[in-house]
Amino acid sequence: MTPDQGSNSRIMKKQPRIRPLKENMAKLHRQFAEEICRYDSPYLKELRDSALSTFMEKGFPSHELEAWRNTSLDEALEREYLFDFDVQQEKADINRIFRCEIHNFETFLFTQLNGWYIYENAPLTELPNGVIAGSLREAMKRHPQLFAEHYGRYADTGKNGLVALNTAFAMDGIFIMVPDNTELEKPIQWVNIVNAGEPMFLQPRHLVILGKNSKLTLVHCDDSIQKENTFINAVTEVFTGEGSTLDFYKLQNKDAGSNLVNSLFIHQEGGSRVQTNTITLNGGLIRNDVHSTIGGSQCETLLNGLYLVDRKQHVDNQVFVDHLKPENTSSQLYKGIVDDEADAVFNGHIHVAKDAQKTEAYQTNRNILLSENARVTTKPFLEIYADDVKCSHGATVGQLDPEALFYLRSRGICERNARMLLMYAFAAEVVGKINIDILRDRIDQMVQKRLKGELSICDQCVLHCKDERDIVFEIDMSKIPS
Amino acid sequence: MLLEIKNLRVSVHGKKIIKGLNLKVNAGEVHAIMGPNGTGKSTLAAVIAGREIFEVNDGEIIYKGKDLFDLSIEERAREGIFLGFQYPVEIPGVSMTNFMKTAIDEIRKYRGLPALSAGDFLKMMEEKKKLVEIQSNLTSRSVNQGFSGGEKKRNEIFQMAMLEPTLAILDETDSGLDIDALKIVANGVNKLRRPDNATIVITHYQRLLDYIVPDFVHVLYEGRIVKSGGKELALELEEKGYDWIKNELDA
C-alpha cells in the first residue's frame, strides 16, 4: 500500500489524517460524499443519511451506556488516524500478501487489505450455481435489489452510534450470497489484513445472505501485520433463510495497538441453524457484539467464544439472543483465561418474547483468573416474558482446581505443565465445538502455543505459523485408534 | 532401606492427626496399614506424596537416603513415589493419553532417559492396559471423567503400571469395588511386584489382603502404629474387630 509518488497529492487529499471526533466525521462525510455514495441506490442513500444523523445524535459510545460500562474507547479516539477514501479496486497478488498455512485446508479465500477488497480475477465472483461472493462495493453496484432486501435490515443502525457511523461510511467489505438449496463444497475464508505503515481508521461492512436450505461455513480471520494503532469499526449482517445452516468461525489475533469493534447481527428464519465460534488469542482492545434475532421456529443458535488474554489486553463480548418466536433453542458458551493485568467482560442477554413459548435458552460463562491484577466482569441477563420456557445461566470466575493440580503433579508433571494442561483442557471445550477437523486441530495447537506464551502475532495471518516448535502435548488424539 | 519414617507428627488446620509415627519399609516388601476411620491413614499417604495442606510438626521421612521433605510433589513422583488415590480426581478435557505422555516425558527427562517415541509410548499404553483389563477406549477419554468407581480404581493401577514406581502407596484402593473389580485391581498390583520395589496398602478391611498378600500388617490408631505383625494380624483384626485393639490399649 505504498502510494504512487506521481499521484501523491491526489492520494494525500483522499487520505486525510484526522481525529475521529463527531464533527470531523460529519465533515469527512460531506467532503468525500462522491466516493462514499458512488453506488448508492435511493434506498442506500436514505439509509446513509439517517445513519449519519443517528451518529450525530448518539456519537461514539461512552461509559454512560450500560453496554459500554466496562469498555472505554476514549483513549483510542484521542489519536489521529488515516481515513482512506481512495478506492483501491485493483488487482493484487494475494499470495504475496497472505498465505494460509493450515495444510490441506481448502477454502475459497477472500481478502481485504486496509478495508478494501482485493482480488486476483474479478471483484465479484458469480458462480454457475448462483453463488455471488466478493466485494461489497461491487455488489452494491450490481445487486441493488438484494441490498434493498437485506442491507441495513438487521443491524440496529437506529440505536447504536458505532453501527450508524459504519453505515454512513461503509464503502467496501465482503459480500456473500448463497442461493436456495445450495451448499458450498469448501468453506469461505475471509481475511482482514491491516498493513498501512501508519494508524488507520477502518470501517469494513459485510453482508452474508443464505437462501433456503443452503449451507455455508465461514472462517473469518482478523489480523494485523503492523505495529501502528488501528481502529476497526466493523459491521456484519447475516441473514439465514429457512432451513439453512451457517458455521461461522472468527479468529482474532491482533497486536497490542489495535482497537477492534466487531458488531455481528444475525437474523434467523425458521428451521435455520447458526453456530458462531469467536476465538480471541491476542488483542489490544477487542469488542465483539453478537446480536442474534430468531424470527422463525425450530431454529438452533449456538454462540461460543474463547478468549485468552494477558498483559494489558482488553476483551469485551456482548451477546444478545432475541427469541421472538416459539420453539427455538439457543445456547451460549463463553470461556476465558485472563492473566497479568488483562481485563475481560462478558454480557450475555437472553430475551424471550411473550409469544416465544417452548424456548430453550442456555448461557454459560466461565473464567479463570491467573493473576491478582487480572479482572473479569460477567453479567448474565435473562429477560423472559413467556411462561413455558427452559432457561438457565451460569457464570463463574475462579482459579485452577488445586485438587487437579495435585493429582497431575503427583504423577511427576511439573507445576507449570500441570497448569498448562488444565488451562488447555478448560479451553478445549470451546475449541472442540469447531466442526472442521483440520481447523479445529490447528486452532487447538495455536491455543496450546498461546498458553505457553509462544504464540505471538504471526507474520501474516492468525493461521500462519512458520515457526513450529515442539509441543508438549504432541499426541494428536484424532490419530489414535480407539 | 527404601523408606524410613521417624517420629512423624502432622496436623491440619491446627488439629493433630499423626502423633509420632514410625515405619520402615524395605525393597521387595508389601506392607498393609489398617485401622478404623479417621486415624490418619490417608493423611500419612498424602504427606508422603507431598500434599501441601498438611503441616509436618516433627519427625522425618527418609526415602532412598534423601530427606523427602526437600522434594516437591513432582520430584517425589519422579523419584518413584506413587500415590493411588482414594478419590481419583476428574479432570475434564485432559485426555488420559496426554496426561500419561506428559508425565512419562517428564519422568524420563528427570532420570536422564531418552524420550519415548509416540509409537513406543502407545505400545506401552496398550500393554499396561491389559494388566488391569482396561477397555481400549478408556485412555482416549478425559482423566477419570465419567468413569465408574471401579474404572477409576483400575485407572489408578494402570497409571501405577505406566509409571513403574519404586514405592507405591495405595490409599483405600478397595473401597467401592465389587469382588470382580477387586480381583482385577489386586491382580494388577501383584503383577507389578518386584524385588526392587515396595507397596504400602492402606485399607479398612481385610478383604483386599486375601488378594494382595502383605509381608507386614500395621494397625494405625489415633495417629500412631500401635500394633505390627505378619499377614495373620489382618485375619485376627477381621475376627475380633478394632475394639480389640482399643480394649488392649485401654487396658
Per-residue pLDDT, A470? 29
Number of domains in chain A: 1
pLDDT digits (tens, 9 = 90+) for A67-92: 999 999 999 999 999 999 988 656 56
More confident residue, B242 or B11: B11
Per-residue pLDDT, A469? 31
| A458 in Cβ contact with A464 (< 8 Å) | yes
Across the interface, do A428 and B89 touch by the CB < 8 Å criterion? no
Per-residue pLDDT, A368? 95
Kind and range of the H or E run holding B88: none
Query: For the residues A416-420, what does the mean pLDDT come to?
Result: 92
Query: For the residues A80-108, what does the mean pLDDT come to?
Result: 71
Per-residue pLDDT, B84? 97
Partners of A361 in the beta sheet?
A330, A391
Close Cβ partners of A352 (under 8 Å, ≥ 6 residues apart): A323, A359, A361, A382, A383, A384, A385, A386, A389, A391
A73 found inside a domain: yes
Per-residue pLDDT, A455? 64
Per-residue pLDDT, A227? 67
| A406 in Cβ contact with B45 (< 8 Å) | no
Q: Lowest mean pLDDT of A165-174, A219-228, B101-110, B166-175, name the range.
A: A219-228
CA distance linking residue A208 with residue A187, whole number of Å: 13
Cell 488501528, residue? A230
Close Cβ partners of A471 (under 8 Å, ≥ 6 residues apart): A445, A448, A449
Cell readout for B108 is 524420563
The answer on pLDDT for A457 being more than 70 is no
Across the interface, do A473 and B101 touch by the CB < 8 Å criterion? yes
Per-residue pLDDT, A456? 53
| B74 in Cβ contact with A409 (< 8 Å) | yes
Domain that holds residue B30: 3-14+26-179+202-246
| A259 in Cβ contact with A73 (< 8 Å) | yes
A314 found inside a domain: yes
CA distance linking residue A83 with residue A232, whole number of Å: 11
Close Cβ partners of B68 (under 8 Å, ≥ 6 residues apart): B48, B60, B61, B62, B76
CA distance linking residue A249 with residue A374, whole number of Å: 27
Per-residue pLDDT, A93? 62
Query: ipTM beyond 0.90?
Result: yes
A430/chain B closest Cα distance in angstroms: 10
A206 found inside a domain: yes
pLDDT digits (tens, 9 = 90+) for A311-329: 999 999 999 999 999 999 9
CA distance linking residue A332 with residue A349, whole number of Å: 10
Confidence of residue A115 (pLDDT cuts 50, 70, 90): confident
Kind and range of the H or E run holding B104: helix B96-110
The DSSP string of A452-477 is: TT-----SS-TT--------SS---G
Close Cβ partners of B210 (under 8 Å, ≥ 6 residues apart): none
Per-residue pLDDT, A103? 53
A431/chain B closest Cα distance in angstroms: 11
Per-residue pLDDT, A445? 84
Instruction: Tell me what the pLDDT averaged over chain A comes to.
Output: 87
Which of A88-92, B60-64, B118-122 has the highest average model confidence (pLDDT)?
Answer: B60-64
At residue A470, φ and ψ (nearest 5 deg) are: -65, 135
CA distances from A417 to A44, A405, A448, B101 (A): 55, 10, 11, 12
Close Cβ partners of A424 (under 8 Å, ≥ 6 residues apart): A447, A448, A451, A473, B93, B94
Least CB-CB distance to A421: which of B72, B82, B94?
B94
Across the interface, do B72 and A409 touch by the CB < 8 Å criterion? yes
Chain B residue at shortest CA distance from A477: B140
pTM listed for this prediction = 0.84
B216 found inside a domain: yes
Which of A12-16, A60-64, A405-409 has the highest average model confidence (pLDDT)?
Answer: A405-409
Helices (H) and strands (E) in chain B, counts: 8, 12
The answer on pLDDT for A331 being more than 80 is yes
A412 chain-B contacts, CB cut-off 8 A: 74, 77-78, 103-104, 106-107, 110, 163
Which of A52-66, A75-89, A182-196 has the highest average model confidence (pLDDT)?
Answer: A52-66
**Does A468 contact chain B (CB < 8 Å)?**
no
Across the interface, do A413 and B92 touch by the CB < 8 Å criterion? no
Confidence of residue A476 (pLDDT cuts 50, 70, 90): very low
Per-residue pLDDT, A109? 86
**Does B110 contact chain A (CB < 8 Å)?**
yes
Confidence of residue A100 (pLDDT cuts 50, 70, 90): low
**Does B99 contact chain A (CB < 8 Å)?**
yes
B49 chain-A contacts, CB cut-off 8 A: 410
Close Cβ partners of B127 (under 8 Å, ≥ 6 residues apart): none
Candidates A207, A32, A244; CA nearest to A110 is A207
Chain A residue at shortest CA distance from B48: A410
CA dihedral A18, A24, A27, A29 (to 10 degrees): 80
**Does B115 contact chain A (CB < 8 Å)?**
no
Confidence of residue B29 (pLDDT cuts 50, 70, 90): very high
Per-residue pLDDT, A198? 87
CA distance linking residue B113 with residue A183, whole number of Å: 53
**Does A417 contact chain B (CB < 8 Å)?**
yes
pLDDT digits (tens, 9 = 90+) for A250-280: 988 877 888 999 999 999 999 999 999 999 9
Cell readout for B119 is 509409537
Kind and range of the H or E run holding A210: strand A205-210
Confidence of residue A102 (pLDDT cuts 50, 70, 90): low
User: What count of Cα atoms within 13 Å lies in the side-chain half-sphere of residue A97?
Assistant: 25
Chain B residue at shortest CA distance from A471: B102
How much of chain A exceeds pLDDT 90, in percent? 70
Per-residue pLDDT, B116? 94
Across the interface, do B91 and A422 touch by the CB < 8 Å criterion? yes
| B237 in Cβ contact with B226 (< 8 Å) | no
Q: Which long-range contacts (CB under 8 A, 24 or more apart) does B115-120 make?
A: B118/A474, B118/A475
B238/chain A closest Cα distance in angstroms: 32
Least CB-CB distance to A411: which of B77, B121, B137?
B77
**Does A412 contact chain B (CB < 8 Å)?**
yes
CA distances from A173 to A203, A226, B61, B197 (A): 9, 20, 69, 68
Q: Does residue B183 sit in helix, strand or coil? A: helix
Domain that holds residue A31: 13-479
Confidence of residue A229 (pLDDT cuts 50, 70, 90): confident
Least CB-CB distance to B118: which of A415, A427, A475?
A475
* First and final C-alpha spacing in chain B: 34
Confidence of residue B241 (pLDDT cuts 50, 70, 90): confident
Across the interface, do B94 and A426 touch by the CB < 8 Å criterion? no
Sign of the torsion formed by the C-alpha atoms of A113, A116, A121 and A126: positive
Q: Residue B14: left if φ>0, alpha if ψ -120 to 50, beta else—which one?
A: left
Per-residue buried b or exposed e for B78-110, using 16+ beta carbons within 10 Å of the residue's own CB: bbbbbbbbbebbbbbbbbbbbbbbbbbbbbeee
Per-residue pLDDT, A439? 87
Query: For the residues B70-81, what does the mean pLDDT come to?
Result: 97
The answer on pLDDT for A467 being more than 60 is no
For residue B202, the Cα-to-chain-centroid distance in whole angstroms is 7
The answer on pLDDT for A225 being more than 70 is no
Per-residue pLDDT, A462? 36
The answer on pLDDT for A309 being more than 60 is yes
Sign of the torsion formed by the C-alpha atoms of A135, A138, A141 and A146: negative
**Does A480 contact chain B (CB < 8 Å)?**
yes
Cell readout for B106 is 517428564
**Does A350 contact chain B (CB < 8 Å)?**
no
A6 found inside a domain: no
More confident residue, A442 or A72: A72
Report the CATH number that the domain containing residue B91 is assigned in CATH.
3.40.50.300
CA distance linking residue A126 with residue A128, whole number of Å: 7
Q: Does residue A28 sit in helix, strand or coil? A: helix
Candidates A404, A418, A407; CA nearest to B49 is A407
Q: How many CB pairs under 8 A join A and B?
A: 101
CA distance linking residue A195 with residue A198, whole number of Å: 8
* DSSP 8-state assignment for residue A109: E
Number of domains in chain B: 1
Query: For the residues B5-34, what does the mean pLDDT come to?
Result: 96
How much of chain A exceeds pLDDT 70, in percent? 87
A1 found inside a domain: no
CA distance linking residue B31 with residue B214, whole number of Å: 5
User: What count of Cα atoms within 13 Å lies in the side-chain half-sphere of residue A448?
Assistant: 22
Across the interface, do A429 and B93 touch by the CB < 8 Å criterion? yes
| A249 in Cβ contact with A277 (< 8 Å) | yes
B212 found inside a domain: yes
The answer on pLDDT for A482 being more than 60 is no
Cell 473469518, residue? A220
Confidence of residue A2 (pLDDT cuts 50, 70, 90): very low
**Does B214 contact chain A (CB < 8 Å)?**
no
Query: For the residues A301-320, what does the mean pLDDT come to?
Result: 95
Query: For the residues B173-186, what does the mean pLDDT come to?
Result: 91
Q: Does residue A439 sit in helix, strand or coil? A: helix
| A336 in Cβ contact with A368 (< 8 Å) | yes
Residues 155-184 of B with CB under 8 A from A: 159, 163
Q: Does residue B236 sit in helix, strand or coil? A: helix
